Amino acid sequence: VSKFVVKDFFLPKWSYETKGHNFIVFTAALTFDMAGCGRMLTLTRHFSTTGAVNAGLVKPPLAVFGIEGRYATALYSAASKEKKLDVVEKELLRFKGMMEQDTKLAQFIENPLVNKLVKRDALQDALKKLQFSNLTVNLIGSLAENGRSRFVKPVIGAFSRIMGAVRGEVPCEVVTAKPLDAAMDKELESALKAFLKKGEVLVITKKVDPSIMGGMLVSIGDKFVDMSIATKVKTYTGVLKQAV
């Protein structure tokens, strides 16, 4: 079993286990390697999207915005140049799964009171022990050092959307009051595919929400259609109130 220890006055004691690895964090004195700091400054610049660095970026097929968009775009560019897009995508989804399975890990990552450098070193060393690629290690480390660890999941989501666009995937969400039967499901999918362009692939997510009463809500790409009975009732109720 591999062990990893982080020392800092501000951290509570907790342990994290995954696939044969055990990582222990406990309160003690903080030590910091200046050489490691120099390496991290380089990594931060590597994931910068401003100035001259931005001019050398490989543009993704989908524009994503906000802080998560900038990090995801920079990561896409770096991974494209190293031909490791698939590797990085799998690692990010794996890391997201680790956060979802271990609430203490998620709390450690998202806690703004934890020393940023301690958090950076802890996460980078842990990911290295799990044999994650340098690209993923550097991304998570950069987010931690820059005080943006709370954006880890949003960045992963943004990168996943970019990779979906690379594969020609068009996300579609269908919300119904109750599950559709097989015949209706097939008919709906056929109708939705009419919105696609050549080479695009429909990726449907189905949800059930009794509050819409009937009908359905459909979002596909940047389009949204509200055919719910709840909305119709609300509209008609508003018309009746105005008529009174």
- Longest Cα pair distance anywhere in the chain, in angstroms? 75
**Which SS3 state, helix, strand or coil, does residue 240 take?**
helix
What gap in Å lies between CA 17 and CA 202, rounded to an integer?
A: 37
Please report the domains of the chain, with CATH numbers, ordered by start residue.
2-165 (1.10.520.20), 169-243 (3.40.30)
Q: Is the pLDDT of residue 218 over 70?
A: yes
Highest mean pLDDT among 9-13, 22-26, 185-189: 185-189
Model pTM?
Answer: 0.66
Q: Is the pLDDT of residue 188 over 80?
A: yes
Residue 14 to residues 42, 137, 160, Cα–Cα distance (Å): 30, 22, 30
**pLDDT tens readout for residues 149-185:** 999 999 999 999 999 999 999 999 999 999 999 999 9
What gap in Å lies between CA 194 and CA 103, rounded to an integer?
A: 42
Give DSSP secondary structure letters for 113-158: TS-HHHHHHHHHHHHHHTT--HHHHHHHHHHHHTT-GGGHHHHHHH
Q: Tell me which amino acid residue 131 is.
A: Q
Tell me, what's the pLDDT at 54? 57
What gap in Å lies between CA 53 and CA 164, rounded to an integer?
A: 25
Average pLDDT on 21-27 reads 35
